Amino acid sequence: MKIKWFKTIDSTNNRIALDKEELPDKTVYMTDFQTAGKGQRGNGWESAKAENLLFSILLKPADILAENQFIISQAVTLGIVGYVRSKGIEAKIKWPNDIYVGDKKICGILIENAVNGDKLVSSIVGIGFNLNQLSFSPSIPNPVSLSALTDVSYDLKDELLSLLHFIFEEYDKRSEQTEERYVSTLYRLGRPHSYIHTASGATFTGTILGVDKTARVIIDTDEGQKAFAFKEIQYII
């Protein structure tokens, strides 16, 4: 594992993508501050300077088919959940790959995969983990940090190494059990809640049952079981 630490950078995902051809597997780019942090759905990622864990991991798996690339997301999210739970805090995975404590978001993940034919050749895993920040912009919905939950101030370097240990442990032992454990850790699993169809804006009530082989979330609705791809639904929290 190789870690390169920046004081300020536009985006760790952007920079590691530019350098990836010459970098080995499990290279990590970490920064104190991002000027153009990237989140899901094309959103930005805001973070106070030197208070949180902002990093990207370059993975170059040799044994993952393109059709199975969601195993990266499953392993990474399980690793982060394991890290949070090691601090005595219960965490869940909000499909597809946010980490929640209760109804608050402690971590966001942006994964950018590259495939060649039927093989996954590289994966850039961008992670923004709220570690020490206590005050957030009103524009950020339902955030929380580990420090706010535990009343402890953490050392960034120590916690980065600990978090990476949990992530790589899950990544290295990935298997069919990874998929099963991912589903069992899903936020709102087995409980009815309200969601929004992104395209129509219509609200519906459904119960999350699991995830299919193409990474779509399976929800039991009044019209029967339906599978939704990323960005097709929004959670109402």
- CA-nearest of 186, 232, 177 to 207 is 186
pLDDT tens, position by position, 74-133? 999 999 999 999 999 999 999 999 999 999 999 999 999 999 999 999 999 999 999 999
pLDDT tens, position by position, 24-63? 999 999 999 998 765 544 455 577 899 999 999 999 999 9
What residues does 167 pair with on adjacent strands? Answer: none
Strand pairing of 27-34 and 2-9? parallel
Q: What is the pLDDT of residue 39?
A: 53
Taken in order of first residue, the domains within the chain and their CATH numbers are 2-184 (3.30.930.10), 192-235 (2.30.30)
Spatial distance between the Cα atoms of 100 and 82, rounded to a whole number of angstroms? 12
**pLDDT averaged over every residue in the chain:** 94
